[in-house]
Chains A and B, each alone.
Chain A
């Protein structure tokens, strides 16, 4: 269990001079569960490998509890790892697989036995300890892999996409188990994934990497409510945020081209008066709008229901907003108990504090309480 600091870390692959990671600076707090999220090729694996000591750090430094670990190997850094492929030793029993990192540290059998049985109990593996990995189902193998990663208290536990390929029921279970283990063991944990739902589900905070660079670090609420840029907005949330072209109308309102002229929507806070009259992009999340059958006034936009897609608890509506520049399509998520038909006219309600504004890729800053 350690606090880990990355300080101006670069990874440059000499062949072709490819930059894997560019000037990465962030802190993983002691006992924190941090997710590293991003698309493939974004720099996640390079970061993980440098944290683990499997890859040389080209520039900058990584510190564990203040001490630089750049030149140390994985064993010296005291790291535990679990991968998507379980990487279990097929010739060893489940017991010996879990005991392996303890034996590698020359722990006495009595202590080994206590630790193996404790973690096996937490992961419901007690009945499987004498079995061999080849005879276990995928979910069970992943539990063994997790047990091996959590059996001792390393400085840092690294989990690399351990559940992305599992079926939905097993996934819900393994998520709960990982989070439970984290609460019990309080390991400092880094979880690497390309799946935003996975990161949202598990983490205390997340780091978003794209094109070798840090895009944002924060809690799920911070990433959701105050995204650093359009990439972050696009990457987190399903369905993704809706975007429409608009014009800043006053310091606290925008104008949107709709059927029957311009529609004014007010937003919370106030933008720089210099922006009044400028073009901007309106963003709002499908999960944060409401739909009404009558125009109640205020921040409402008339639209036509194009499609309804039932999802069980919710329904996703595709709505078209007729405007001057053709029609724009947006999505809205509503409770499945509200029934809408394709072709119906409805009113989309976007609350002022659910409005995001962008100038190109960057969010437009707003003075709170304006």
Chain B
């Protein structure tokens, strides 16, 4: 399989820059996810790699060879889309076998060999029972798996998968996700995968590109994206609840620096964070304003004072997960969420009760404001 490289690739639709100077390398055998919100340019990048969309400027290279001028059929890629694009008059077997029969690849498989490959991938994806059915007799989730099987049945230079499991129900999504990961590991395939679902991006990828308005906002391994987001945007894209973002003022008393978000939210900031906090600050009506980011599992709660930095705050609401609770707090302009540790079990705090809140300073970030937050 191939190494895929994009060098300063731009795509203009009229005056609109759908993709803006994107460069990255997907190594041979790597699983790379392009992750971002709707309209960020994810699918456009994939289509340019496939050759379905022209490139306005820049280069796309497979194993060092420029692909720009080659039509899709000469690039030897295999695609699956969110929309299934199955051939309605062919049954599931023939749909999956279709790429194996294309004269272009001159595979010239024997009937038995073709059947072996189709049945293998269909069984792998849990649709082995459906081979004789026509697409019109399939559910959305089944069609999507047929489309995925058709993409995976052949070994191309690169697999290009665009939201290939978006329409599966939650349970099937998780199991199919595991299968895809197993497929990638077993065949050491080069896969470029487009998704807006952070769970898929984190679970599947060797590396992730976070795309924002046609540009790469961050590139890194899943744990880097999760633990060291470069911006409020990346923090907010990941997690449920996603990263807490709190706007507040930098204040100082007796040589100590504080982050203040409303009257009862006064957080002493450790000395080593002060520089990054001030870097991220801007001045608004004479005040120095900054944005704090912290994930909900990095805040501790207790009925007793936890540390010098902890402060009491009233509970707004408590909701549950199977083995932990999410405690919500209401600030003047935003909510913030805290997930209790599993060992503790369900929180028994009452609404309006004041409990001690302790922000883990090792997992606290200060970001310049690049994102408008919906006010509560």
Contact = CB atoms under 8 A, between A and B. Distances in A.
| Real binding pair | yes
A318 B204 CA distance: 13
Interface in B110-146: none
A106 interface: no
A32 B289 CA distance: 43
B326 interface: yes
Interface in A167-225: 168-169, 171-173, 175-177, 179-180, 183-184, 195, 197, 200-202, 220-221, 224
B362 to A, nearest CB: 12
B7 interface: no
Nearest to A199: B320
A195 B241 CA distance: 17
Interface of B is mostly: mixed
Interface string A307-338: 10111110010100000000000000000100
A173 B335 contact: yes
A351 interface: no
B302 interface: no
A27 B198 CA distance: 40
A310 B242 contact: no
A236 interface: yes
Interface residues of A, number: 40
Contact of A310 (B203, B316, B319, B320): B203
A224 B320 CA distance: 13
B231 interface: no
Given A238-B174, A306-B182, A307-B185, A224 B322 contact: yes
Given A310-B202, A310-B223, A172 B326 contact: yes
Contact of A177 (B171, B295, B317): B317
Contacts of A287: 322-323, 342
Given A168-B242, A309-B203, A336-B223, A176 B181 contact: no
Given A179-B319, A180-B317, A318 B326 contact: no
Contacts of B335: 172-173, 176
Interface stretch (B78-86, B91-99, B232-240): B232-240
A180 B351 contact: yes
Nearest to A236: B322
A342 interface: yes
A318 B178 CA distance: 8
B164 interface: no
Contacts of B204: 309
A168 B203 contact: no
Given A176-B328, A183-B317, A342-B185, A220 B171 contact: no
B318 interface: yes
Given A309-B204, A310-B223, A237 B319 contact: no
B337 interface: yes
A239 B174 contact: yes
Contacts of B346: 220-221
Given A238-B171, A307-B181, A310-B202, A179 B318 contact: yes
A238 B202 CA distance: 17
Given A180-B316, A307-B181, A313 B199 contact: no
A349 to B, nearest CB: 15
Contacts of B374: 137, 139
Contacts of B181: 307, 309
Interface string B200-229: 001110000000000000000011001000
B180 to A, nearest CB: 10
A200 B351 CA distance: 18
B320 A311 contact: no
Given A309-B178, A312-B226, A313-B297, A201 B319 contact: yes
B173 to A, nearest CB: 10
A249 to B, nearest CB: 29
Interface string B327-366: 0100000010101001000100001000000000000000
A96 interface: no
Given A238-B171, A312-B239, A307 B178 contact: yes
B202 A312 contact: yes
A195 B169 CA distance: 10
A331 B336 CA distance: 31
A313 B323 CA distance: 14
Given A201-B321, A318-B182, 14 more contacts: A168-B240, A172-B240, A176-B317, A179-B319, A180-B317, A200-B321, A200-B322, A202-B319, A224-B323, A309-B202, A310-B223, A311-B199, A312-B226, A313-B295
Q: Nearest 4 A-B pairs (CB), nearest first?
A: A176-B328, A309-B203, A180-B317, A172-B241
7 contacts: A124-B376, A200-B322, A220-B322, A238-B171, A310-B202, A311-B203, A312-B202
